[in-house]
């Protein structure tokens, strides 16, 4: 957004920002915002031009989540640019994502399907991609390498937050020497959330991005639980089947497709597990498959887990690999293992290369003495030199599969779970 350089930029603070009504939630004074900044608690900074009702920019500062976000607005109150920075180093932020929207008329609604848009996703290793959709959903998209130079991917932390309010992040910057005017939103009647401007009377709060969360993993391993998906409205967990015992002498667990990662070190989880032997299990669900007028009873194994303890799971989280940085994940994104052969495996890291090589020889080259089939869909290879095992499982297809770690209330790891079947819109009955 271009602006008159003579216009004064007014900055106010609040605990939150309602994306639907474009108003703040729980206004803050500058000193209160500074206190939240020091504590790492989220707060927003609202930049307005004198005499304008719509903001120029709104920033969400959440140091505790290693995140700073920014939205730029036009005169009609529509969002036109988005930026997502991540605090990956003590004094520097990385530009993880940049998005832009183009509206052809004043009447065009925010994020209209036909609005032109561009997305750029960046990664610290220098990689990145740019997606351009000049006609939005109504036209083609073009995918290219990101065209943002390295020096613009990193920014000093001091330019963000309460200490960095002297510059705008997405719009035309303030001229040298020009200072913003700070507004105490706690004393400004217009800086309050307007419930009557949203349909259901509730704010749609802008919050820091959260990675994907699992749904009902506990219930999938409780026989008798009734569940539903969009393709099977009535399902029931019929059994928990013991598959095999896995030897894990190093305490370093690999969860990967042995064919995809057989010649690498394997995807080692960053979580360390006490060395020992652990039971691998599968959750079995029963339902009726219907084709035309025929209903056929089906039993399907939908999830596998490595049972690490008997305590109940108090919380679930993504189980990242050693090389993963969870601070880079955007909303509902995951890390996981990749498979080109619709398979995965639990294995000990100390013997991974030998175990994966034997798996390939057994499965692909059909060397009977390289491994064994435990039951339909499950194979095992062993490495007696390290006293370690690999137990494989089939997945519902190729792609990337997240690995979930369940923790007890003490923080102790209790189990590692992989959903191996597609369960869209999973819910409980």
DSSP assignment string, 213-270: ---SHHHHTSTT-EEE-SS-S-EEEEEEEEEEEEEESSSEEEEE-TTTSTTS---EEE
Burial class (CB in 10 A: 0-12, 13-18, 19+), 238: middle
Tokens of 404: 């979930």
Same domain, 177 and 299: no
| pLDDT at residue 404, rounded to an integer | 98
Q: In whole angstroms, what is the distance from residue 425 CA to residue 429 CA? A: 12
Same domain, 84 and 178: yes
Is 211 among the domain residues?
Answer: no
| pLDDT at residue 114, rounded to an integer | 95
State whether residue 415 is helix, strand or coil. strand
Low-confidence ranges of the chain (pLDDT < 50): 1-3, 189-196, 198
Same domain, 255 and 312: yes
CB 165 within 8 A of CB 45: yes
Same domain, 133 and 221: no
Which residues form the domain of 224?
217-428
Alpha carbon separation from 141 to 99, 113, 116, 119 (Å, rounded): 14, 13, 10, 11
Q: In whole angstroms, what is the distance from residue 12 CA to residue 50 CA? A: 12
Tokens of 83: 């930026």
Q: Which of 136, 137, 165 lies closest to 70 in space, CA to CA?
A: 165
Q: Who's near 46: CB < 8 A, 6+ residues apart?
A: 11, 12, 13, 14, 17, 24, 55, 58, 185, 191
What angle (nearest 5°) sits at the alpha carbon of residue 123, between those of residues 174 and 173? 5
User: Which of the 8 DSSP states describes residue 358?
Assistant: H
Report the Cα 157 to chain-centroid distance in Å: 23
Report the Cα 57 to chain-centroid distance in Å: 25
Same domain, 16 and 88: yes
Is 366 among the domain residues?
Answer: yes
Tokens of 12: 């106010």
Same domain, 224 and 187: no
Same domain, 376 and 259: yes
Is 210 among the domain residues?
Answer: no
| pLDDT at residue 176, rounded to an integer | 59
Is 212 among the domain residues?
Answer: no
Question: What's the number of domains the chain is made of?
Answer: 2
Q: In whole angstroms, what is the distance from residue 155 CA to residue 158 CA? A: 9
Same domain, 315 and 405: yes
Same domain, 133 and 227: no
Same domain, 256 and 404: yes
Q: In whole angstroms, what is the distance from residue 412 CA to residue 266 CA? A: 24
Same domain, 419 and 313: yes
Give the global pTM: 0.88
């Amino acid at each position: 957004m271009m602006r008159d350089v003579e216009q004064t930029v007014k900055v106010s603070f609040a605990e939150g920002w309602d994306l639907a009504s474009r108003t703040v939630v729980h206004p803050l004074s500058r000193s209160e915002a500074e206190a939240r900044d020091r504590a790492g608690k989220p707060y927003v900074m609202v930049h307005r031009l004198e005499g304008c009702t719509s903001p120029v920019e709104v920033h969400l500062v959440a140091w505790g989540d290693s995140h700073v976000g920014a939205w730029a607005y036009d005169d009609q109150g529509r969002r036109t640019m988005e930026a997502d920075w991540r605090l990956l180093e003590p004094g520097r932020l990385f530009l993880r994502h940049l998005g832009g929207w183009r509206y052809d008329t004043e009447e065009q609604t925010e994020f209209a399907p036909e609005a032109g848009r561009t997305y750029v996703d960046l990664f610290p290793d220098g990689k990145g991609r740019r997606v351009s959709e000049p006609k939005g959903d109504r036209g083609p998209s073009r995918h290219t390498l990101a065209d943002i130079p390295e020096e613009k991917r990193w920014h000093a932390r001091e330019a963000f937050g309460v200490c960095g309010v002297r510059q705008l992040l997405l719009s035309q910057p303030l001229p040298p020497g020009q200072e913003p005017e700070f507004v105490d939103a706690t004393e400004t009647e217009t800086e309050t959330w307007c419930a009557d401007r949203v349909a259901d009377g509730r704010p749609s709060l802008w919050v820091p991005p959260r990675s994907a969360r699992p749904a009902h993993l506990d219930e999938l391993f409780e026989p008798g639980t009734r569940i539903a998906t969009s393709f099977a409205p009535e399902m029931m967990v019929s059994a928990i089947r013991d598959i095999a015992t896995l030897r894990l002498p190093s305490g370093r667990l690999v969860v990967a497709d042995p064919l995809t990662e057989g010649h690498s070190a394997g995807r080692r989880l960053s979580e360390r597990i006490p060395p020992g032997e652990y039971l691998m299990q599968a959750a079995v669900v029963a339902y009726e498959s219907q084709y035309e007028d025929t209903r056929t009873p089906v039993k399907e194994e939908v999830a596998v887990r490595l049972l690490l303890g008997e305590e109940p799971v108090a919380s679930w989280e993504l189980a990242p690999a050693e090389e993963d940085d969870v601070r880079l994940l955007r909303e509902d994104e995951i890390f996981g293992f990749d498979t080109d052969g619709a398979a995965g495996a639990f294995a000990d890291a100390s013997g991974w290369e030998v175990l994966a090589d034997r798996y390939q020889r057994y499965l692909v080259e059909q060397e009977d003495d390289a491994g064994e089939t435990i039951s339909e869909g499950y194979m095992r290879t062993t490495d007696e030199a390290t006293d370690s095992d690999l137990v494989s499982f089939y997945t519902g297809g190729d792609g990337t599969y997240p690995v979930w770690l369940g923790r007890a209330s003490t923080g102790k790891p209790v189990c590692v779970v992989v959903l191996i079947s597609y369960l869209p819109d999973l819910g409980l009955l």
